[in-house]
Structure 1
Amino acid sequence: MPNNPVLPVKLYIEVEPRERTDLAETFEARFHKHGWEPEWRDQIYDYDHYHSTAHEVLGMASGHAILALGGSKAFEIKVRAGDALLLPAGTGHRAIEQSRDFLAVGAYPAGQNWDICCVAPSQTMLDRINSLALPKYDPVTGSTF
C-alpha cells in the first residue's frame, strides 16, 4: 500500500451522537455541506485496497467494526456508530471484523472519482496519488486544509 505522503489519516471519535437513528443521512448532509459528495452506504470491503484517484471519508452510521489501515504493516482501529474516518488517497484499508448492523457512508471530494486498487502501485499510480489535489475543506469539521 502506498499510503499518502502529505495528508494524514484522521479518526474523528463520536462526531455525531451514537443514539441518533438517522446517522447515515446526518453524515451525508455534513459531508455534502463541506464539498464531499456521498456515494454509497454499505459495509467496508474485507480485503486490502486503496484509492489512487480520490480521497475518501467514511461516516459510521450504525454498529461497530475493526479496521486495518496501511496494508501489510497495518495497524488496527476500532470504529463505532458516530465516528468518522478520513482516508487520504493511497491509504490501504480493509475491514477485519464488522458487526451485523455495521453501516458506513462513503464520500469523496467533489470532482474526484474513486477507483479500487489492490496491487502494488506502479510509478504512474504513485505519481497520481502524489499529484492529487488536497480537498478544499475537511469533510467533518469544514476547516480548510
Structure 2
Amino acid sequence: MAASEPKVEAQVLQGDGAFPNNPHLPLLVYRRAIDPGGPSAAGEFEEAYERNGWTGSWRNGVFAFHHFHSTAHEVLGIAAGSAKIQFGGPEGPIIEVNAGDMAILPAGTSHKRVDASDDLLVVGAYPQGQSDYDMLRGNPDETPEARERIAAVSLPEADPLFGPDGPLLEHWQKSANA
C-alpha cells in the first residue's frame, strides 16, 4: 500500500561535463513510498504506474555504468533489496535507496549502480508517450543535441504513484516555472 505522505528529497543536479542532467527539474527520492514489507511490492509499483499513465514498465536493476535518457523521464521503484546509486555523473551524489523507496529522474539525469544487495529488484517506467527512450553514456559529441532534447521533454500528467495530485507535479511545476 502506498504511503500517504512519503518523505520527498529534491535535488537539482548540475551538468557534469558530458552528463547534462536537468538544469530545471530536481531528482526526487520518495522515502518509504510504499510499504517495504508488502508481499508484492513490484506489483504495487506496476499497478500504480499503469493507473497513473506511466508505461513501458520493466523489472531489473540499474546498470553499473553512467547513462541517461534525453527523451524521457524515468521512475525507479525499489521493490526489494537496497542499492547505492550515483546520480548526476562521476562527480554526483551517491544515494542509498531501500525497499519501498522510489526515485523519479527528470530527463537527462545520469545514473549508475555503485553497489547493491543480491536481492535488488527495481521496477521502472516512463510517462505516457515517453517509453521510446534513448540511452546515452556521456559521449561529449552527443551532449549539445541531448540538451536540446531534454529541454523539449514534456512534464508528466501525473505522479507515478500518487496521481495528478502527487508530490512530483508540485515539485516539477514549481521548478519549471521558476
CA distance in 1 between counterparts of 2:109 and 2:161 reads: 18
SS in 1 for 2:126: strand
Aligned to 1:138: 159
Asked if 1:82 corresponds to 2:100, the answer is: yes
Q: Which amino acid aligns with 1:134?
A: L
C-alpha separation in 1, matches of 2:52 and 2:24: 20
Corresponding residue for 2:43? Answer: 25
Say if 2:20 and 2:143, in contact at 8 Å, map to a contact too.
Answer: no
Distance 2:162 2:56 in 1: 16
Aligned equivalent of 1:94: 112
% identical equivalent positions:
40
Equivalent of residue 114 in structure 1, options 109, 122, 133? 133
**Aligned pair 1:73/2:91, yes or no?**
yes
Unaligned runs of 5+ in 1: none
- Could you say which residue in structure 2 is the equivalent of 1:52? 70
Q: Quote how far apart the aligned CAs of 1:38 are.
A: 4.2
Runs of at least 5 residues in structure 2 that lack an aligned partner in the other structure: 1-18, 174-178
Task: Tell me which moved more, 99-108 or 131-140.
Answer: 131-140
Give the CA deviation at 1:6: 2.1
Aligned length: 145
What is the RMSD computed on CA atoms of the aligned residues?
1.2
Letter in 1 for 2:160: P
Alignment-derived partner of residue 35 in structure 1: 53
Q: Which runs of 4+ in 1 moved over 6 A?
A: none
SS at match of 2:148: helix
1:15 lines up with 2:33 in the alignment? yes
- After TM superposition, the score normalised by the length of structure 2 is 0.78
How far 1:33 moved relative to its partner? Answer: 1.4
- Counterpart secondary structure, 1:115: coil
CA distance in 2, matches of 1:92, 1:66: 14
Q: Match of 1:18, as an amino acid?
A: P
Q: Distance in 1 between matches of 2:125 and 2:96?
A: 20
Which residue among 117, 122, 127 is the counterpart of 2:148?
127
TM-score when normalising by structure 1: 0.95
- C-alpha separation between the residues in 2 aligned to 1:12 and 1:46? 22
